[in-house]
């Protein structure tokens, strides 16, 4: 029987990770090796969420230290290379099934779509959630349209995904359900990822016809459009940033730290990919666009995103652990999701740079700036949409799952940590999309603690 960890051992894990990150930033192989040994000892005591997270982060830190040795890193086989496509799809499906946040997001988004399409006769739904897409969301929406006073509209659904089998199965499932509900239904599939779509011809790519009322749902994908080549900078700037990383991490090790105290750095210009995408969406003039994103500062210098990732994923691992504990049959699914979905996100955040770093999560305040600069305005989520969110969270029976209304949007979190944002948008009347120059903004860090404004959650 494994021995139970002492409180002291649990507390020492976080400083040990900070110390290891400091040594990695300094390029100290010997000190990093000692820190990794200590992390391994502390994380092997018991199989808890913090221990499992520490192992993933330690693996990422070790690999990051080796980045300067191109021959060595080029010879390593990344564990994800062994993942079979069927296992990846299974993990994605289980993530959507196990996550209380994605389920809540889908329910909230559906309610907003139903309201925006209340009197429309022909509705085009665009699902840009790609790997986060799940047929359950659209099954629920079909039932919502079925119960609409005056009868359901004709529903035309376009889904973007990188797996043809997934698309075929979703089409068969939804077509059968629509037929049973006697809803005129059309399914259009687009094989690909959001960042690979031809934004110059988006209407044709997505099969959108003139005269259709358009609703767009994009969950956990838009941050992938923030990719820039971080490596295009002078040596002096690189060296200064490396020194800042090391100095900042040293300060964190010796102080009580929270992500809200991270130093703010001027952000890079918004990438052309995001500007191009938002311009293309703007020209479609959708009735509503729903965006769900990870609410975290993972698009910054290494030191910033290391600390943010530690706090963020500690809360996420804890919530998934609670979900699995409430239903023992999900134990295997939780392990798969932690390793193949969340673990790969963490590795991309900590290990990758430049065009290879796709997990560039931003806070809601930053997305508000991007959207506003691109000619979109907030659509306040209605009382019914917020109530749908509340009821869905309550249905999981987990006290840690909470929500907060902020800037007419929703923030979902675990205990005191904000995890996801849900916001609704519509093109401003008479506006054109924002120029690239308007996308030059300063990073805005929200230092307000996460609060639950509704006491019954």
Q: What CATH number did the domain enclosing 187 receive? A: 3.40.50.150
**pLDDT, average across residues 40-53:** 87
Domain assignment present for residue 73? The answer is: no
Q: Which band of pLDDT confidence, cut at 50, 70 and 90, is reported for residue 55?
A: very high
The answer to which of 137-141, 265-269, 316-320 has the lowest mean pLDDT is 265-269
Do 314 and 365 reside in the same domain of the chain? no
Do 407 and 287 reside in the same domain of the chain? yes
Helices 302-326 and 85-98, axial angle in degrees (round to 10)? 70
- What pLDDT is stored for residue 184 in this prediction? 98
Q: Are strands 213-219 and 417-427 parallel, antiparallel or unpaired?
A: unpaired
Do 280 and 150 reside in the same domain of the chain? yes
- Structure tokens belonging to residue 120: 């429309």
- What pLDDT is stored for residue 165 in this prediction? 94
- What pLDDT is stored for residue 172 in this prediction? 98
Do 284 and 407 reside in the same domain of the chain? yes
Last residue of a domain, one of 330, 356, 382: 356
Q: Is the pLDDT of residue 451 over 60?
A: no
Domain assignment present for residue 380? The answer is: yes
Do 138 and 235 reside in the same domain of the chain? no
The answer to which of 49-53, 72-76, 178-182, 450-454 has the lowest mean pLDDT is 450-454
- What pLDDT is stored for residue 72 in this prediction? 54
- CA distances to 79, 195, 208, 211, 220 from 124, in Å: 40, 21, 7, 10, 21
- Structure tokens belonging to residue 231: 């490596």
Cα–Cα distance measured from residue 203 to residue 216, given in angstroms and rounded to the nearest whole number: 12
- What is the DSSP code (8-state) at residue 362? B
Q: Which band of pLDDT confidence, cut at 50, 70 and 90, is reported for residue 446?
A: very low
Do 398 and 427 reside in the same domain of the chain? yes
Domain assignment present for residue 83? The answer is: no
Burial of 407 (0-12, 13-18, 19+ CB in 10 A): middle
* Alpha helix ranges (H) inside 231-284: 235-253, 272-284
Closest listed residue to residue 384, CA positions, set 117, 101, 106, 112: 112
Per DSSP, the residues of 22-75 read HHHHHT-HHHHHHHHHHHHHHHTS---HHHHHHHHHHHHHHHHHGGG-HHHHHH
Closest listed residue to residue 425, CA positions, set 272, 225, 281, 220: 281
- What pLDDT is stored for residue 238 in this prediction? 45
Domain assignment present for residue 449? The answer is: no
Domain assignment present for residue 428? The answer is: yes
Do 239 and 342 reside in the same domain of the chain? yes
**pLDDT, average across residues 295-310:** 94
- What pLDDT is stored for residue 43 in this prediction? 86
pLDDT above 90 as % of the chain = 67
428 contact partners, CB below 8 Å, separation of at least 6: 375, 376, 377
Do 196 and 132 reside in the same domain of the chain? yes
Q: Is the pLDDT of residue 2 over 50?
A: no
- What pLDDT is stored for residue 229 in this prediction? 66
- What pLDDT is stored for residue 239 in this prediction? 44
- What pLDDT is stored for residue 288 in this prediction? 98
Helices 343-351 and 302-326, axial angle in degrees (round to 10)? 170
- What pLDDT is stored for residue 47 in this prediction? 76
Do 221 and 368 reside in the same domain of the chain? yes
Domain ranges, residue 394: 100-226+269-299+360-439
Structural contact between residues 124 and 156, judged by C-beta atoms closer than 8 angstroms: yes
Q: Is the pLDDT of residue 3 over 90?
A: no
Q: How do residues 90-99 score in pLDDT, each as one tens digit?
A: 999 999 888 9
Q: How do residues 219-256 score in pLDDT, each as one tens digit?
A: 999 999 998 865 554 343 344 444 445 555 555 444 43
Per DSSP, the residues of 393-432 read HHHTT-TTEEEEEETTEEEEEETTEEEEEEEEEEEPTT--
Closest listed residue to residue 353, CA positions, set 238, 237, 230: 230
Secondary structure (3-state) at 215: strand
Burial of 102 (0-12, 13-18, 19+ CB in 10 A): buried
Cα–Cα distance measured from residue 303 to residue 318, given in angstroms and rounded to the nearest whole number: 23
Q: Are strands 213-219 and 185-191 parallel, antiparallel or unpaired?
A: unpaired
**pLDDT, average across residues 2-13:** 62
Q: Which band of pLDDT confidence, cut at 50, 70 and 90, is reported for residue 84?
A: confident
Last residue of a domain, one of 356, 381, 401: 356
**pLDDT, average across residues 81-108:** 88
Cα–Cα distance measured from residue 132 to residue 450, given in angstroms and rounded to the nearest whole number: 25
Chain mean position to CA 409: 16
Do 152 and 207 reside in the same domain of the chain? yes
Cα–Cα distance measured from residue 292 to residue 106, given in angstroms and rounded to the nearest whole number: 9
Cα–Cα distance measured from residue 148 to residue 291, given in angstroms and rounded to the nearest whole number: 24
Neighbours of 49 (CB within 10 A): 20
Structural contact between residues 332 and 339, judged by C-beta atoms closer than 8 angstroms: no
Do 191 and 115 reside in the same domain of the chain? yes
Q: How do residues 392-443 score in pLDDT, each as one tens digit?
A: 999 999 999 999 999 899 999 999 999 999 999 999 987 665 543 333 233 3
The answer to which of 5-19, 195-209, 249-263 has the lowest mean pLDDT is 249-263
Domain assignment present for residue 372? The answer is: yes
Secondary structure (3-state) at 77: coil
Domain assignment present for residue 457? The answer is: no
Structural contact between residues 353 and 299, judged by C-beta atoms closer than 8 angstroms: no
- What pLDDT is stored for residue 253 in this prediction? 47
**pLDDT, average across residues 101-108:** 97
- Structure tokens belonging to residue 355: 């065009």
- 349 DSSP β-pair partners: none
Q: Is the pLDDT of residue 54 over 90?
A: yes
- What pLDDT is stored for residue 45 in this prediction? 73
The tally of domains found in the chain comes to 2
Closest listed residue to residue 166, CA positions, set 240, 114, 91, 256: 91
Do 151 and 193 reside in the same domain of the chain? yes
* Residue 216: its H or E element: strand 213-219
Indicate the average pLDDT of the chain.
84
The answer to which of 229-238, 268-277, 445-454 has the lowest mean pLDDT is 445-454
Chain mean position to CA 78: 22
Beta-strand ranges (E) seen in 275-367 are: 288-294
Secondary structure (3-state) at 300: coil
**pLDDT, average across residues 163-182:** 97
Structural contact between residues 53 and 335, judged by C-beta atoms closer than 8 angstroms: no
């Amino acid at each position: 029987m494994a021995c139970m960890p002492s409180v002291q051992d649990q507390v020492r894990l976080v400083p040990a990770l900070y110390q290891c990150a400091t040594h990695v930033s300094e390029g100290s192989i010997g000190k990093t090796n000692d820190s990794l040994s200590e992390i391994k000892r502390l994380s092997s005591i018991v199989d808890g969420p913090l221990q499992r997270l520490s192992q993933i982060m330690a693996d990422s830190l070790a690999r990051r230290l080796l980045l300067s040795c191109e021959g060595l890193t080029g010879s390593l086989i990344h564990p994800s290379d062994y993942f079979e496509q069927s296992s990846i799809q299974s993990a994605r499906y289980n993530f959507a099934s196990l996550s209380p946040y994605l389920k809540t997001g889908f329910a909230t988004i559906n309610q907003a779509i139903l309201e925006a399409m209340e009197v429309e006769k022909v509705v085009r739904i665009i699902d840009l959630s790609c790997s986060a897409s799940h047929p359950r969301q659209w099954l629920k929406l079909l039932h919502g349209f079925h119960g609409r006073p005056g009868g359901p509209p004709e529903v035309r659904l376009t889904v973007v995904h990188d797996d043809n089998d997934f698309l075929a199965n979703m089409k068969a499932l939804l077509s059968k359900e629509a037929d049973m509900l006697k809803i005129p239904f059309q399914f259009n599939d687009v094989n690909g990822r959001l960042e690979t779509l031809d934004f110059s011809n988006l209407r044709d790519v997505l099969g959108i016809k003139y005269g259709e009322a358009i609703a767009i749902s994009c969950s956990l994908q838009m941050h992938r459009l923030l990719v820039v080549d971080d490596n295009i900078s002078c040596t002096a700037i690189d060296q200064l940033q490396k020194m800042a990383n090391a100095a900042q991490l040293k300060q964190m090790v010796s102080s009580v730290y929270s992500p809200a105290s991270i130093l703010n750095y001027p952000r890079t210009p918004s990438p052309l990919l995001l500007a191009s995408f938002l311009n293309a969406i703007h020209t479609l003039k959708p009735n509503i666009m729903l965006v769900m994103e990870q609410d975290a500062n993972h698009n910054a210098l290494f030191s910033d995103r290391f600390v943010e990732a530690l706090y963020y994923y500690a809360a996420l691992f804890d919530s998934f652990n609670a979900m699995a504990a409430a239903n023992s049959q999900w134990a295997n699914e939780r392990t798969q999701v932690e390793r193949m979905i969340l673990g790969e996100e963490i590795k991309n955040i900590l290990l990758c740079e430049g065009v290879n770093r796709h997990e560039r999560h931003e806070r809601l305040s930053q997305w508000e700036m991007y959207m506003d600069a691109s000619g979109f305005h907030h659509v306040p989520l209605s009382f019914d949409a917020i109530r749908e969110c509340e009821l869905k969270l309550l249905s999981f029976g987990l006290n840690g799952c909470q929500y907060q209304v902020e800037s007419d949007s929703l923030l979902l979190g675990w205990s005191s940590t904000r995890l996801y944002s849900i916001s609704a948008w519509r093109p401003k009347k008479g506006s054109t999309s924002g120029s690239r120059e308007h996308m030059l903004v300063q990073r805005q860090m929200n230092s307000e603690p996460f609060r639950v404004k509704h006491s019954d959650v």
